Amino acid sequence: MAKRTARCRLLVVFFRHFDRWLVHLPALPQVWLEVARPEDLKAELGRFLAGYFRRKPQPTPEEISLAGRAWLTTLELELEPARNQPDQAGQEAHALLEQARVGTGMAEIERVGRCLEDLYPDALSPCDGRQDQSLRLEQALAGRAPVVLLGGPLVGKTALVHQLARNWVLHDPRSRQLWLLGPQRLISGMSYLGQWERRLLAILEHAQQNDLLLYFDDFAGLYRAGQSRDCELSVIDVLRPYVERRTVRVLAEMTPSAWGRLQERDRGLCDQFQTVYLDETGPTVTLQVLLAQARQLEREYDCAFELEAFETARQLGSRHLPWLCFPGKAVRLLRQCGTTYKGRPVGRPEVLEQFAAQTGLSAAILDERQELEPGGLEAHFAARLAGQPEALKALVDTVTVLKAGLCEAGRPLANLLFVGPTGVGKTHCARLLAEYLFGDPDRMVRFDMNEFLQPDSVARLVGDERQPEGMLAAAVRRQPFCVLLLDEIEKA
């Protein structure tokens, strides 16, 4: 774009906030900047606006200029806000002034939501092997009742919704009916009393008038979004009457466990929903999905998957990722391989190497074709742990059970209780196990149970209704492949 010079007169609001000087242009409501000194205002603002209009040609400088339309002058005000008593009336007045920022329902849903039909064709996740479930979902959505899609992590809930959007676009290329909304996006930027409520009401009225389907991928989060110290109203409270009267179509996705907790909390609303269950795919369907996905991944990453890679990915997911579901966990592993080995063939060794790098588990544990000598394993631990034959046997048994694939799905590999006086090596045993399994003694996650003696300790450790993810769940989520040590558990 050719350079040009624009001369314009703008209204600038310039004020001090603590030790900072802030600048705001009412003609560009989203524009705020900070300057170090008042003397720098003109130069800093000129540089900023030059870059701004290069990036965003609309509106033009002439369109927002007040030259010839209004007189400008300098007006200085000194304000001393109340420090101890919050001015509720002032906040409400400010919220009324801010009301112009809440636009029409269409503008607001465009701002905080995403139309899934707009992602067609390349950005929609493929959904293979789910024809029956796709038909059931469309039948459930044919009426006005809200629908919840239930399935475990990575089972393919989002992919099924994307398939729904794909079907709608193929039926009507102009369709813009399916909108993804998140609880935090709904309240983002809404800092004054009543703002997010007006935004949500505008969206709901627009959805009602245009028969939109509102899709929430974090439905439980609606119960917390919008709440604050001074207001218990949440997004779900505003949405509830529209769901109960069925004036707005709603689609949610959740895991069965999260849905069960929500039913205990709000049985009345949950009973309004039709449920569509999405089961984990079996070995045959999983391999079919992997074959179909491989074609897209090969085009995307310029790699070539060998047939052994698919079965290896399925076996690794089945043995070592029991908390996740097929086909998603195997597809994700293949995608990670495509990223790592871009432009190269991907076979069984590459899948094993990628999974080992991801989890920390050694090739001796992961590769079924490699034998694990119990004698060598015992010698490895005996060289590092002296005088503890029972502990030594427990460590060897733990590793051999993992290698044989005899672990019960959905449960820890082992539960070991190390008993003994201070200094005999209980913590050392846990570190040895972490080092052997994951190649790093720091893969041991330690909780000092002396710190969990208060009445709120259980909530801090495992979570509660307001903070669902406690310290324990957060630590394991960050590093699911670890040795978890509850130190001095008898004192908790």
Instruction: Determine how β-strand 13-17 pairs with β-strand 20-24.
Output: antiparallel
Common-topology check for domains 103-277 and 283-359: no
3-state SS, residue 236: helix
Please spell the DSSP secondary structure of 360-410, one letter per residue: ---HHHH-TTS---HHHHHHHHHTT--S-HHHHHHHHHHHHHHHHT-PPTT
Q: Is the pLDDT score of 96 beyond 50?
A: no
Q: Is the pLDDT of residue 276 over 90?
A: yes
Sign, CA torsion 303/308/311/313: negative
Which pLDDT score, from 0 to 100, does residue 457 have?
86
Whole-structure pTM value: 0.73
∠ Cα 233 238 240 (to 5°): 115
> Do the beta carbons of residue 226 and residue 234 sit within 8 Å?
yes
Per-residue model confidence (pLDDT) at position 86 = 47
- Sketch the domain layout of the chain as residue ranges: 1-77, 103-277, 283-359, 374-491
Give the least confident one: 176-185, 218-227, 309-318, 470-479.
470-479
Whether the pLDDT of residue 185 is over 60: the answer is yes
Partner residues linked to 446 by β-bridges: 485
pLDDT band at 346 (very low <50, low <70, confident <90, very high): very high
Give me the mean pLDDT over the 71-92 stretch: 59
Out of 74-83, 239-248, 289-298, which region has the weakest mean confidence (pLDDT)? 74-83
The alpha carbon of residue 479 and the mean position of all alpha carbons in its chain are separated, in whole angstroms, by 16
SS3 state of residue 443: helix
Taking residues 276-295, what's their average pLDDT?
94
Which pLDDT belongs to residue 205? 95
> What is the distance between the alpha carbons of residues 444 and 427, in angstroms, rounded to a whole number?
9
pLDDT value at residue 455: 84
Over residues 331-354, the mean pLDDT reads: 95
Q: What percent of the chain is modeled with pLDDT above 70?
A: 91
Residue 87 has pLDDT above 60, yes or no: no
Convert the pLDDT of each residue in 446-473 to its tens digit.
999 988 888 888 888 888 777 777 898 8
Query: If you count DSSP H runs as helices and E runs as strands, how many of each does the chain have, helices first?
Result: 21, 13
- The per-residue pLDDT for range 358-417, each reduced to its tens digit, is 999 988 889 888 888 878 888 999 999 888 899 999 999 989 988 887 877 778 888 999
Q: Does residue 241 carry a pLDDT above 60?
A: yes
CATH (residue range 103-277): 3.40.50.300
Mean pLDDT, residues 152-165:
96
Rounded average pLDDT over 334-344: 95
Distance CA 120, CA 308 (A): 32
HSE-up of 127 (CA within 13 Å, CB side)?
A: 23
CATH topology of domain 283-359: Helicase, Ruva Protein; domain 3 (1.10.8)
Q: For the packed helices 157-171 and 131-141, what is the interaxial angle rounded to 10 degrees?
A: 70
Average pLDDT over residues 320-348: 94
Q: What is the mean pLDDT of residues 346-353?
A: 96
- What span, in angstroms and rounded, lies between the C-alpha atoms of 322 and 329? 10
The CATH code of domain 374-491 reads 3.40.50.300
Stretch 63-79: mean pLDDT, rounded? 69
Residue 145 has a pLDDT of 94
Average pLDDT, the chain: 87
Which single residue is written with the structure tokens 């139309």? 115
3-state secondary structure (DSSP) of residue 77: coil
Distance CA 191, CA 91 (A): 10
What integer pLDDT is reported at residue 19 of this predicted model? 64
State yes or no: pLDDT of 92 exceeds 60. Answer: no
pLDDT number for residue 192: 74
> Measured in whole angstroms, how far is the alpha carbon of residue 420 from the centre of its chain?
42
The residues pairing with 23 across neighbouring beta strands, listed in sequence order, are 14, 33
73 pLDDT higher than 70 = no
**Omega within 30 of 0 (cis) for the link into 59:** yes
